[in-house]
């Protein structure tokens, strides 16, 4: 089963519109190939529309960092899947640990968002992962199982197959501490097993599962040489064109 690798950059709350457009100009000057790999940039909402124009014809996709589940209505401050699609997004990050930690995102909300996004033909990048306390207490798999099954509850097998899931151990995000290649592979294979139980072998074979948490050029090849790791969700190292394109290059070389 061959799964197309995904490298997604999560810019979080960084870059003004001019900064974002400079990045787009600069990445277009590099010869980074997008034939064997899906490259996605997830800027703040304010930069989405202009980046969509700037990326046209580049082969690089655009994603958002969050979404609300209703199409429209009196929901001050929220952005709907319809609006994201209209603005040029193909992907949406859902359930990032920072949203779970600071903005009250529960598994139920994640599930509502996943369903809404799929309903509009966008691809969710659903994040799961344990905290340091949970890892030390030995409950990583339990936590990841609950987040995965609740987040995907009620989906059809074809919908599950089209998902992107990002395994991001919370203790590895922005800390410079990466999970070892083996630990990341083990948890990601476990998540694939959950998809198999819940949705069958075909969905498990097709779903793309990424690793995230302090991914940088130097640790890319080791992580990507693991058979169940289908790419990366990159925070800090996606903010600079050089490090981001190096991660893309090393991933496509390793996964070829």
To the nearest whole angstrom, how small is the minimum distance from the Cβ of residue 152 to ligand PGA?
A: 19
Give the span between the Cα atoms of 245 and 27, in whole angstroms: 8
Where would I find the beta strands (DSSP E) of 129-225?
Answer: 164-167, 208-212
Backbone phi and psi for residue 205, each to the nearest 5 degrees, phi listed first = -75, -25
Euclidean distance between CA atoms 239 and 231, whole angstroms: 17
What does 198-250 look like in DSSP terms, one character per residue?
HH-HHHHHH-EEEEESS--HHHHHHHHTSTT--EEEESGGGSSHHHHHHHHHH
Q: Is 168 in the site for ligand PGA (CB under 6 A)?
A: yes
Pairing of strands 123-128, 61-64: unpaired
* Residue 72 neighbours by CB distance under 10 Å: 10
User: 130 vs 168, which CB is nearer to ligand PGA?
Assistant: 168
Only one of the segments 29-37, 53-61, 99-107, 234-242 lies at the binding site for ligand PGA (rule: CB under 6 A); that segment is 234-242
Could you say whether residue 147 binds ligand PGA (CB under 6 A)? no
Segment contacting ligand PGA (CB under 6 A): 63-71, 116-124, 211-219, 246-254? 211-219
Using CB under 6 A as the binding rule, whether residue 234 contacts ligand PGA is answered as yes
**Does residue 94 belong to the site contacting ligand PGA (CB under 6 A)?**
no
Residue 235 engages ligand PGA in binding (rule: CB under 6 A):
yes
Q: Residue with the closest Cβ to ligand PGA?
A: 235
Q: Does 214 bind ligand PGA (CB under 6 A)?
A: yes
Contact call for residue 174 and ligand PGA (CB under 6 A):
yes
Answer yes or no whether residue 233 interacts with ligand PGA by CB under 6 A: yes
Q: 3-class secondary structure for 75-103?
A: CCCCCCHHHHHHCCCCEEEECCHHHHHHC
- Of 18 and 174, CB closest to ligand PGA: 174
What are the residues binding ligand PGA (CB under 6 A)?
10, 168, 173-174, 212-215, 233-237
């Amino acid at each position: 089963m061959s799964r197309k690798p995904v490298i997604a950059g999560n810019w979080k709350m960084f870059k003004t519109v001019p900064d974002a457009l400079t990045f787009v100009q600069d990445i277009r000057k590099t010869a980074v190939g997008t034939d064997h790999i899906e490259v996605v940039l997830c800027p703040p909402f304010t930069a989405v529309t202009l980046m969509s124009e700037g990326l046209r014809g580049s082969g690089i996709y655009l994603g958002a960092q969050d979404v609300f589940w209703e199409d429209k209505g009196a929901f001050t401050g929220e952005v709907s899947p319809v609006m994201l699609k209209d603005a040029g997004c193909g992907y949406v990050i859902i359930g990032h640990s920072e949203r779970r930690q600071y903005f009250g995102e529960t598994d139920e909300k994640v599930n509502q968002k996943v369903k809404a996004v799929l309903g509009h033909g966008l691809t969710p990048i659903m994040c799961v992962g344990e905290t340091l306390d949970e890892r030390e207490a030995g409950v990583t798999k339990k936590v990841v199982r609950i987040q995965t099954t609740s987040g995907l509850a009620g989906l059809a097998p074809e919908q599950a197959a089209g998902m992107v899931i990002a395994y991001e151990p919370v203790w590895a995000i922005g800390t410079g501490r990466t999970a070892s290649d083996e630990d990341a592979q083990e948890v990601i294979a476990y998540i694939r097993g959950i998809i198999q139980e819940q949705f069958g072998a075909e969905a498990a074979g097709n779903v793309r599962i990424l690793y995230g948490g302090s991914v940088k050029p130097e640790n890319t090849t080791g992580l990507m040489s693991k058979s169940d790791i289908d790419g990366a969700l990159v925070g800090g190292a996606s903010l600079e064109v050089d490090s981001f394109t190096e991660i893309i290059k090393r991933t496509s070389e390793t996964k070829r």
